[in-house]
């Protein structure tokens, strides 16, 4: 596995005539004993990669659904350490790239070098750290430079073009384009300025551009796929697992396969 593994998984979708789909789940929500079944279900359902949330006590980017999932996970005793230990039990059965979404403090508590070593052993493909801005990310880049973990950058709607260009140049795996101003969570409508924003990112980036935040229905998946290389869906997936609505999860994933590239 290389740093290109995550990027290549998305590119393969595009070559096969459909867009990528990355579901987000909160590790430990429902108990860590559910983690294997949920990951393998998403893999079998056709997920391109899986974003695995690490619960944190102060999740500033997360909306109510994911915050509550994180609280449940913490109450279940989920920590970065025992999440990685659980992954070690079945990681050889996972064929799709796994991307950890974690705040920076758990990484510091774990130890950056220990984290790099353990993720490399488990074949983790990428990491997203929403509270670590590009300008302060050098310490993490140094810790992971000898590993195959891609550091996936987040780009907000309010980022000026000059800053987008810097972030994109340092990006790995894919570019995570945030489609709303604010926190995660389902929304009825999308921002009207998305076309220009995504056009700017795609113009500057050699990496696939995935969109996320606020996407919760198959119709929104198809609409956003018309503007980007794929979508990331979090709150709707988290809630569907809680409600045991596996059919909804499958319909969200299948919506990306409905968008044929012309």
For residue 211, give Cα distances in angstroms to 33, 94, 97, 120, 156: 30, 24, 17, 26, 10
Outline where 32-79 has alpha helix (H): 35-45, 64-75
**Any idea what DSSP says for residue 94?**
-
* Nearest residue to 136 (alpha-carbon basis) of 108, 162, 110, 117: 108
d(CA 147, CA 117): 8
Q: Which residues are catalytic?
A: 51, 62
What lies within 8 Å, CB to CB, of 254 at 6+ separation is 46, 218
* Whole-angstrom distance, CA of residue 221 vs CA of residue 69: 22
Neighbours of 74 (CB within 10 A): 16
Q: From residue 232, how far is each of 9, 108, 118, 212 by CA, in Å?
A: 14, 26, 25, 5
Which residues, at least 6 apart from 149, have a Cβ–Cβ distance to it below 8 Å? 3, 116, 119, 120, 124, 125, 126, 127
């Amino acid at each position: 596995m290389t740093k290109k593994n995550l990027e290549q998984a998305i590119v393969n979708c595009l070559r096969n005539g459909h867009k990528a789909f990355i579901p987000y789940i909160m590790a430990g929500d429902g108990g860590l004993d559910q983690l294997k079944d949920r990951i393998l279900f998403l893999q079998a359902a056709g997920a391109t990669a899986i974003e695995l949330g690490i619960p944190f006590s102060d999740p500033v980017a997360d909306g109510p659904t994911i915050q509550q999932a994180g609280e449940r996970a913490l109450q279940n005793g989920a920590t970065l350490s025992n999440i990685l230990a659980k992954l070690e039990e079945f990681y050889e059965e996972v064929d799709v790239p796994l991307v950890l979404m974690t705040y920076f403090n758990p990484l510091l508590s774990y130890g950056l070098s220990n984290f790099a070593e353990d993720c490399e052993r488990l074949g983790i493909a990428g990491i997203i750290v929403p509270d670590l801005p590009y300008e302060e990310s050098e310490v993490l880049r140094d810790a992971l430079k000898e590993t195959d973990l891609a550091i996936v950058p987040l780009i907000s709607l309010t980022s000026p073009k000059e800053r987008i260009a810097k972030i994109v140049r340092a990006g790995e795996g894919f570019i995570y384009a945030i489609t709303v101003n604010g926190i995660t969570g389902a929304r009825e409508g999308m921002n009207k300025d998305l076309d220009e924003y995504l056009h700017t990112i795609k113009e500057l980036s050699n990496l696939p551009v995935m969109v996320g935040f606020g996407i919760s229905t198959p119709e929104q998946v198809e609409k956003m796929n018309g503007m980007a290389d794929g979508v990331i869906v979090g709150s709707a997936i988290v809630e569907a697992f809680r409600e045991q609505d596996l059919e909804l999860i499958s319909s969200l994933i299948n919506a990306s396969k409905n968008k044929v590239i012309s």
